Structure 1
Amino acid sequence: MANIVAKLVTTGAAVVASIIAKKTTDGTWKIVTGRNVPNNPDDPEVDLKEAIAFAVLSGALIALSRMLVNRQATRVLGKAQGKSSAQVANET
């Protein structure tokens, strides 16, 4: 049962991380470039430099937000289950 709860919590954490990453990427892109995010960076009409910069920024922010949210979820699960964060991380 604890394993199912852990999987649900980590799945929920991934969803939260993606929402945070999307909002952070949009806001950061707007601040740095002064423009809205490209609608479709795969479109050949979008400048290659802009598409690469957007891919690097969004990839970094997605990875960062997932890592932070997963670490917090692991901490919370560890406390709830009376285990160390390392034990919980090894089980999920």
Structure 2
Amino acid sequence: MNTIAQKILSTGITLAGGVIGSRLVAGGWKLATGHDAPDDAADETLPLVEALSFAFISAGVAALIKVAGQRGAGTAIRKASEKTARRGANEV
């Protein structure tokens, strides 16, 4: 089921997850490396390995959040539809 409500819910979850995910990645990066996460990949003073590592980690977390958001939205919409259908069947 790919309804408008599911798309809206999925987008909201993904946006909120993106903000939380980027903060988690930045915090984890600081814990692991001891310095702030890179904010400009075009900075020539930033070692290429560090820029690529941060990009891969960030992209992986973003992909996980997107999939989880879409699946969560689908599950929530399906459960709400089933609940509404049961309620309607009981009223008839």
Q: Shorter-chain TM-score: what band?
A: 0.7 to 0.9
Task: State the SS of the aligned residue for 1:41.
Answer: coil
Is 1:8 the counterpart of 2:8 in the alignment? yes
Unaligned runs of 5+ in 2: 84-92
Q: Hey, what does 2:47 align to over in structure 1?
A: 47
The within-5 A match list for 1:5-44 is: 5-44=5-44
CA offset digits 1:33-89 (Å, max 9, x no partner): 111111202222211111011111111111112222222121111101129xxxxxx
| Structure exhibiting the larger radius of gyration computed from Cα positions | 2
The alignment's TM-score, normalised by the length of structure 2, stands at: 0.77
Aligned-residue Cα RMSD (Å) equals: 1.9
Separation in 1 of the partners of 2:73 and 2:5?
11
Unaligned runs of 5+ in 1: 84-92
CA contact (8 A) 1:41 1:54 kept: no
Separation in 1 of the partners of 2:68 and 2:57?
17
User: Which consecutive aligned stretches of 4+ in structure 1 deviate over 3 angstroms post-superposition?
Assistant: none
Separation in 1 of the partners of 2:12 and 2:55?
24
Point out which structure has higher relative CO (alpha carbons under 8 A, 6+ apart). Answer: 2
Task: State the SS of the aligned residue for 2:44.
Answer: coil
Q: Hey, what does 2:76 align to over in structure 1?
A: 76
Is 1:64 the counterpart of 2:64 in the alignment? yes
Would you say how many aligned residue pairs link Structure 1 and Structure 2? 82
